[in-house]
Amino acid sequence: MEALSETVSGRIPWWQRPRKLAGRMRRRFTLDTFDVFKRPVRPEHTREGLEIPSSYTFEWGTADDIERCADFHTELDANERRLGVERLGFGHLVVVGKHDGQAVFTMWANPRNLNVPGLVKRRLRPGQWFIYKAYTSPEHRGRKLYETGMRFVLAEMLERGLQELVGYAHVKKRVSRKGLARLDFTSVGRVVQWHMPGWAHTRVSPELVAAFPEVVPRSGALDGGDGASERPA
């Protein structure tokens, strides 16, 4: 009768509580898997051979370009624009694709580190660049701007005598993975992160560790954190 009264009154019987708790934990638990890719810079990646879709222009962005970006077309809100200007100050580069003078595509390049905030930060090898935070305006998707942005970066790297471009993509980001595959990027390794509120665990595959053996301390200065460093990127 006691158990019946608990059920009728809306309270969960004691023997059901562990199962309910386990269900709540499963719903709050998430698993994210990212693959890291790379591809060599080749002689054919010339600026002269770069095909840019009609009515678009591609260029290296400035602080003024970032400050003028619209949230809808670039996914850069006021805070992201502020951080973007800071990234440029620390030596990062940003590719800006424009249509009628409006930025509709952005892709960032880090010349020092493979850095995904909250996930992994490792030193690049000499001659490598890492691309991240690519975004295409919803109104301009399907025009291969992502692929063009990567080719634009490769052309710059060829001119500078660099050897290898590194990128990454979540296993569920089909568009990004298709773009990387079209340019013959190959997998270097994988990062898996299990997390729930107040807890996270990240595993870097042995292949990725071998490719990028040097761990870089995270400052948080360029991902919204409070850290500070002369070269936080």
Which is more confidently placed, 164 or 199?
Answer: 164
Quickly state the pLDDT bin for 200 (edges 50, 70, 90): confident
Q: pLDDT band at 17, cuts 50/70/90?
A: low
Interval 49-77 mean pLDDT: 96
Neighbours of 104 (CB within 10 A): 24
pLDDT, average across residues 17-46 = 79
Burial 50-59 (b: 16+ CB within 10 A, else e): eeeeeebebe
Q: Can you read off the two tokens belonging to residue 107?
A: 């892709």
Assigned superfamily of 29-211: Gcn5-related N-acetyltransferase (GNAT) (3.40.630.30)
Q: Give tens-digit pLDDT for 101-159.
A: 999 999 999 999 999 888 899 999 999 999 999 999 999 999 999 999 999 999 999 99
Tokens 């001119």 label which residue?
Answer: 159
**Nearest-angstrom CA–CA distance, 221 and 120:** 15
Q: 186-196 and 199-204 as β-strands: parallel, antiparallel, unpaired? A: antiparallel
Tell me which of 13-27, 73-87, 99-113 is least confident.
13-27
Closest to 157 measured CA to CA, from 57, 44, 65: 44
Tell me the mean pLDDT in the region 151-168.
Answer: 97
Question: Please, where are the H alpha helices in the chain?
Answer: 2-8, 17-28, 63-67, 71-74, 78-89, 145-160, 174-182, 206-211
Q: Are 52 and 168 in contact (CB under 8 A)?
A: no
What is the C-alpha to C-alpha distance for residues 124 and 108, in angstroms, rounded to an integer?
15
The pLDDT assigned to 226 comes to 33
Dihedral angle, C-alpha 50, 56, 57, 63, nearest 10 °:
-130
Most confident of 15-19, 94-98, 114-118: 94-98
Cβ(38)–Cβ(180) under 8 Å? Answer: no
- Distance, in Å, from the CA atom of 127 to the CA atom of 160, rounded to the nearest integer, reads 9
Averaged pLDDT of the chain? 87
Mean pLDDT value of segment 207-212: 97
Contacts of 46 (CB under 8 A, 6+ apart): 155, 158
Q: What is the CA radius of gyration of the chain?
A: 22
